[in-house]
Structures are given as C-alpha cells and as structure tokens.
Amino acid sequence: MGVEGKERNRDLDMGAQVISGHMGKTIQRLRKAYNLSLSELAEQSGVAKSIISQIERNETNPTLATIWRLSQALDVSIERVLATSDEEPFIEKSSKADTPILVSDDGKMRLAIVGWIKTIEWLQWYDVQSEPGGELDSDGHQRGSVECLSVLEGEFEVQIGDVTHQAKAGETLRYRCDRRHIVRCVGNMPGRATMVCILKAAVMD
C-alpha cells in the first residue's frame, strides 16, 4: 500500500472515531433524558448493555443495525444520532416525530422534551399538555435544582410537602425541585404549560 493509501485510511479511521464519539455522547444524553439505565435501554433496544456502554465511551464502532435499534428505542432518527457538532447547522429544526415524549403514570399528562439535548444535564425544558386531573409525581432532582412552570392554558398547582400553590394562564410558579414535588392540572379544562428545570441552580436553604 502506498503512502497516499495509508494516509487515506488513517483519515477515514480518524473520521470514523470522531463520528463515533459524537454518537456515543448523543446516545448517553438521550438515555439520561429518558431517565433510562443501561440495562433498561438494552432491554428496549435489544442491544447488549456492554455494547451500549462501549458506544457511550467511544470504545467501539457500532453497526448500522445497532444504531437503528438504539434510535428506535430512543424515539429519534438515525440522522440525529449520527450528526456531529461540526455538521449541525446553526439553526436546528426538530420535527414532531423527533421530539421525545414523557407520560405521567396516570397517562393524563404528556411532556414533550423541547430543550436542547446537549444541555440535558443542567438545563431541561418541556412543553406540558394535560387532561383535567392529570398529575405528575416526581422524585427530587439534585440539590439546588429549581423548576419554573409557566401556565399557558388552564390551571395548574404544585405541591411540595404540605405547601400547595396554584397558577392560571399567564402566571408562573418557581419552586425548588430537589425534593418530591407534584404538578397537577386542576379544574375542568385541559392545561398547557412550559416547564423549565435548572439543575444545580443554587444551594437553597
């Protein structure tokens, strides 16, 4: 093999490693956004836990079939998984089908993850839509986390311990979410709100 051939193979290997590295970070961010463990993602995707761990650490180059299984389990397109930071446009558009959805245990409240996946570890925001009576019961996030619920339609209430406050359209509730907190859609009308969670916002006494 000539020098040019060796250099080309080296460039191809470096390019593959870069793409694989970005892909691993993307998969890890999406998995954390869904609050999935490696074992849970492995069960949902059919990809071995050890393989997913290696992908996230950029220790292996997965096959297209493996990437497809992971993208299906994480509800995103293969293009989104493979995109690298250098290739992403400054203005990024996400389709409805590309937006992960979380559903409350009672099935009445849906949270579309509209925040940027790259900020998921410190800033998260959601489009919240709920049927009347919908309830989202959440465990506490890490200490110092703050959540902001801006009501667009209907009426919501937030309960933390024995304290409960309500907000109507045009109003915002801000509260520490590093302890168990419950968000409810109250009244007889469906509700819609924007929820922003700032992790590690401050140590609040």
Q: pLDDT (tens digit, 9 = 90+) per residue, 90-108? A: 577 777 777 888 999 999 9
Cα dihedral 42, 46, 49, 51 sign: negative
Please give the average per-residue pLDDT across 49-54, as a whole number.
91
Please give the average per-residue pLDDT across 185-194, as a whole number.
96
Q: pLDDT (tens digit, 9 = 90+) per residue, 24-47? A: 888 888 888 778 889 999 999 999
| C-alpha pair distances (Å), 189 with each of 49, 105, 159, 183 | 43, 20, 19, 15
Which of the residue ranges 16-20, 53-57, 146-150, 171-175 would you say has the lowest mean pLDDT?
A: 16-20
Residues near 44 by beta carbon (within 8 Å), at least 6 away in sequence: 36, 73
